[in-house]
Amino acid sequence: MKVCIVGASGKLGQYMVQHALERGDEVVGVCREQSVGKLERFKDRISIVPGRTNDRDVIRRAVAG
């Protein structure tokens, strides 16, 4: 399954990313540009879409395809 996690760099978001990866899901994480570094440990296993989490275009890009 492909999942999109908005707020992926936060405490709950990182937990959700880890859980989804353990289940074998394909993960797309959305987080603010300044928070991308918090996802360093997942960088080779997820797609990261940086941007404002309340920006429709950012979310649209994250869920496309």
Number of domains in the chain: 1
Average pLDDT over residues 10-16: 99
Q: Identify each DSSP E strand in the chain by its residue range.
A: 2-6, 26-31, 47-50
Q: Which residues contact 7 (CB under 8 A, 6 or more apart)?
A: 13, 30, 31, 53
Domain coverage including residue 53: 2-63
> What CATH number is attached to the domain comprising 19?
3.40.50.720
d(CA 33, CA 57) in angstroms, rounded, equals 15
Output the pLDDT for position 65: 64
Assigned token pair, 45: 């296993």
- Quick one: how far is CA 38 from the chain centroid? 11
Residue 53 pLDDT level (bands cut at 50, 70, 90): very high
- Per-residue pLDDT tens over the stretch 14-44: 999 999 999 999 999 999 999 999 999 999 9
